[in-house]
Amino acid sequence: MAQTKQIKRVLIVGGGSAGWLTACVLAATHSHEVEITLIESANIATIGVGEGTWPTMRNTLEKIGITEGEFIQRCDASFKQGSEFVNWAKAQNHSYYHPFSLPVGFEQDIDMVSPWLTVKDKVDFAHAVSAQAYWCDENKAPRLPSDIQFAGKANYGYHLNADKFAKLLKEHATERLGVKLIVDDVCKVLGDNDGDILAVTSIDHGQITADLFIDCTGSKSLLLGEHFKVSWLSQKHILKNDSAVAVQVMHSDEQAKIASCTKSTAQPYGWIWDIALPTRRGIGYTFASEYCDFDTAKLQLANYITDQGLEAPAPSTFKEIKFNPGFREKLWHNNCVAIGMSAGFLEPLEASALVMIELSAQYLIDNFPKTHSMMNVVANRFNAKFVYRWHRIIDFLKLHYVLSSRDDTAYWQTMRAEHIPQTLQELLLLWQYQPPKHSDLDHIDEVFSAASYQYVLFGMGFSSTLYQSAWSDQINHEVINTLFKQVTQNAQRGLGTLPTNRDLLTNITKFGISTI
Ligand SMILES: Cc1cc2nc3c(=O)[nH]c(=O)nc-3n(C[C@H](O)[C@H](O)[C@H](O)COP(=O)(O)OP(=O)(O)OC[C@H]3O[C@@H](n4cnc5c(N)ncnc54)[C@H](O)[C@@H]3O)c2cc1C
């Protein structure tokens, strides 16, 4: 392709959450300058899981023009305020929150960790620094019925039905944003003389040409993986989970509580996610096949479900999923960029996959290549940024295992002790002397901020006697005590005024959400 050739036609291959989210984001901002086509197969299923989002999804929905009311109603969605981790630090009677809102004082760079350590036996870290922890205890929604769309009393994301979400995005992209849809199977990828992709060949539509190709074909990665042979960097030595069983479970009754955080409960060979939607719960066990087979995992999952007072569904409805945790050595090669599972996937912990799709799509629209020569520069910068991000996600996920004192199986012993990335080892050493702060991480737009590290570190029971001297010498006690008090006052106010997730969602079904 000539270096000055303009990029006018984009072909997105694959219509899962990655394909349709990317199509919407791109079309909402660039449809006047580029023609956007998406090809999806009617025969190859989407992965059909991925039901927890980050708060970034509010911004994404607003940007692409889907109202919050429509999204909630169409996707069977509920409000998510963070994650609860049960029995990760030890095998029994332990839980902590990683809420989405920042710890009080964090934005002002006030160290709340050192003073909290002096009272840590009375209150856990999340409840000391975030009202959101109290609201999660009571399954509260993060917003009032009168709040305008996408606004709330705390930072929040969503739980959703993945199939319904992809359907809504598809409808929005094709009916409102002008994305052209081709339903067909891609059977071949054709290269040109410069090594770029010239076209994909599909069974019924023949050759489909474009200037830029976006590989959203999931773990198949037809373009970047199969055609360009860009290596998959497996991270299984660090994060051993490579399998999952997922199932949909009915609520015990129509008025059952809808938890406002993802509940992640550690198991002998992995962990179980539990996501409550208005009509059902999505529950699954992700585990390491090196230590556990599907039958054992299904049994442990069924036990979890019945322990929750729910009826275990028929064994035939348990969906088996296999994946190889990792990411591609490059995410953008020549005129092809991979977004979604084709680019990478580590494991469901902390729901970092959809947000990587949102970040990739955002980067693409912020730096949309106008010509082929610009594309080379954008590709290099994209690769540097996203390879860095994959490494930081690995660090953060590994942190959850490294800090565990579970000793019940070889799985936990290995996950805790082996193959800890050097960057994480250094941070853990640093944090023995000082609590995590913004400047400990290299980028201003880190996927996981120092606040998230604080929640997980201190939720898991990490402690240091070295911080306390700093607190007693330097910190203004009055300011700190006022901030701690602010948290409990805010928590009490919210407990008195915020509806439960269930009540708010019922209200939204009847009255919608104000858009102005
Ligand atoms: C167990 C598990 C739990 C997860 N939980 C979460 C979570 O809570 N939060 C989160 O953010 N993420 C989660 N994820 C990740 C999330 O599911 C994915 O990132 C997301 O669904 C995007 O998938 P995708 O669109 O890349 O791939 P897919 O959904 O697999 O879509 C691939 C698309 O490519 C099409 N395709 C493939 N081959 C061809 C062909 N030859 N021709 C035409 N089309 C083709 C398919 O038809 C399909 O439309 C989870 C993943 C797993 C495995």
196 and 1 Cβ atoms separated by less than 8 Å: yes
CB atoms within 10 A of CB 357: 24
Between helix 410-417 and helix 372-402 the angle, nearest 10°, is: 130
Number of domains the chain contains: 2
Whether 476 is covered by a domain: the verdict is: no
Whether 251 is covered by a domain: the verdict is: yes
Answer yes or no: do 170 and 229 share one domain: yes
Q: Is 7 in the pocket of ligand 1 (CB under 6 A)?
A: no
What is the C-alpha to C-alpha distance for residues 294 and 210, in angstroms, rounded to an integer?
42
Q: Is 230 annotated among the ligand-binding residues?
A: no
Answer yes or no: do 186 and 301 share one domain: no
Answer yes or no: do 248 and 311 share one domain: yes
Among candidate residues 341, 372, 387, the one where a domain is terminated = 387
Answer yes or no: do 179 and 203 share one domain: yes
Residue 48 pLDDT: 85
Whether 223 is covered by a domain: the verdict is: yes
Give the HSE-up count for residue 93: Cα atoms under 13 Å, Cβ half-sphere.
Answer: 0
Q: Is 157 annotated among the ligand-binding residues?
A: no
Answer yes or no: do 317 and 176 share one domain: no
Answer yes or no: do 209 and 341 share one domain: yes
Among candidate residues 368, 387, 406, the one where a domain is terminated = 387
Answer yes or no: do 316 and 329 share one domain: no
Q: Is 347 in the pocket of ligand 1 (CB under 6 A)?
A: no
Residue 50 pLDDT: 81
In degrees and rounded to multiples of 5, residue 279 shows phi and psi of: -100, -15
CA of 97 to the centre of ligand 1 (A): 27
- Atom nearest to 244 CA in ligand 1: 1
CA of 115 to the centre of ligand 1 (A): 44
Q: Print the domain residue range for 359.
A: 9-51+161-235+325-387
Residue 182 pLDDT: 98
Whether 360 is covered by a domain: the verdict is: yes
Answer yes or no: do 224 and 276 share one domain: no
Tokens of 374: 């610009």
69 and 149 Cβ atoms separated by less than 8 Å: yes
Q: Where are the alpha helices (DSSP H) in 218-332?
A: 294-307
Strand order across the 326-328 sheet: 232-234, 326-328, 344-345
- Atom nearest to 19 CA in ligand 1: 25
Burial class (CB in 10 A: 0-12, 13-18, 19+), 92: exposed
Between helix 422-430 and helix 372-402 the angle, nearest 10°, is: 60
In degrees and rounded to multiples of 5, residue 266 shows phi and psi of: -65, 145
Query: Which CATH number goes with the domain that contains 182?
Result: 3.50.50.60
> Measuring from atom 13 of ligand 1, which residue has the nearest CA?
50
- Atom nearest to 185 CA in ligand 1: 42
115 and 475 Cβ atoms separated by less than 8 Å: yes
Q: Is 14 in the pocket of ligand 1 (CB under 6 A)?
A: yes
Residue 5 pLDDT: 82
Q: Is 105 in the pocket of ligand 1 (CB under 6 A)?
A: no
Residue 355 pLDDT: 97
Answer yes or no: do 222 and 260 share one domain: no
What is the C-alpha to C-alpha distance for residues 128 and 430, in angstroms, rounded to an integer?
23
Residue 464 pLDDT: 84
Q: Is 80 annotated among the ligand-binding residues?
A: yes
Instruction: Tell me the whole-structure pTM to 2 decimals.
Output: 0.96
What is the C-alpha to C-alpha distance for residues 85 and 104, in angstroms, rounded to an integer?
21
Angle at 334 between CA 330 and CA 340, to 5 degrees: 45
Q: Choose among 421, 10, 458: nearest CA to 200.
A: 10
CB atoms within 10 A of CB 101: 23
CA of 49 to the centre of ligand 1 (A): 7
Angle at 344 between CA 360 and CA 66, to 5 degrees: 40
Whether 299 is covered by a domain: the verdict is: yes
Answer yes or no: do 310 and 330 share one domain: no
Per-residue pLDDT tens listing for the chain (516 residues)? 677 789 999 999 999 999 999 999 999 999 889 999 999 999 999 998 889 999 999 999 999 999 999 999 999 999 999 999 999 999 999 999 999 999 999 999 899 999 999 899 999 999 999 999 999 999 999 999 999 999 999 999 999 999 999 999 999 999 999 999 999 999 999 999 989 999 999 999 999 999 999 999 999 999 999 999 999 999 999 999 999 999 999 999 989 999 999 999 999 999 999 999 999 999 999 999 999 999 999 999 999 999 999 998 998 899 999 999 999 999 999 999 999 999 999 999 999 999 999 999 999 999 999 999 999 999 999 999 999 999 999 999 999 999 999 999 999 999 999 999 999 999 999 999 999 999 999 898 999 999 999 999 999 999 888 886 555 555 578 888 999 999 999 999 999 999 999 999 999 999 999 887
- Atom nearest to 286 CA in ligand 1: 1
Q: Is 247 in the pocket of ligand 1 (CB under 6 A)?
A: no
Q: Which residues are catalytic?
A: 80
Whether 469 is covered by a domain: the verdict is: no
CA of 12 to the centre of ligand 1 (A): 14
371 and 73 Cβ atoms separated by less than 8 Å: no
Among candidate residues 293, 322, 351, the one where a domain is terminated = 322
In degrees and rounded to multiples of 5, residue 19 shows phi and psi of: -60, -50
Whether 497 is covered by a domain: the verdict is: no
CA of 298 to the centre of ligand 1 (A): 22
> Measuring from atom 27 of ligand 1, which residue has the nearest CA?
218
Answer yes or no: do 170 and 203 share one domain: yes
Q: Choose among 328, 327, 301: nearest CA to 312.
A: 301
Whether 36 is covered by a domain: the verdict is: yes
Q: Is 218 in the pocket of ligand 1 (CB under 6 A)?
A: yes
CA of 80 to the centre of ligand 1 (A): 21
Q: How many residues does the chain have?
A: 516
- Atom nearest to 43 CA in ligand 1: 47
Strand pairing of 212-215 and 336-338? Answer: parallel
169 and 160 Cβ atoms separated by less than 8 Å: no
DSSP, collapsed to helix, strand or coil, labels residue 282 as strand
Answer yes or no: do 251 and 314 share one domain: yes
Q: Is 16 annotated among the ligand-binding residues?
A: yes
Name the residue of 37, 49, 160, 321 to mutate for ligand 1: max ligand atoms within 8 A of Cβ: 49
* Helix, strand, coil share (%) of the chain residues, nearest 5: 40, 20, 40
User: Following DSSP, what letter does each residue of 183-241 receive, concatenated?
Assistant: E--EEEEEE-TTSSEEEEEETTTEEEE-SEEEE--GGG-IIIIIIT-PPEEE-TTTS--
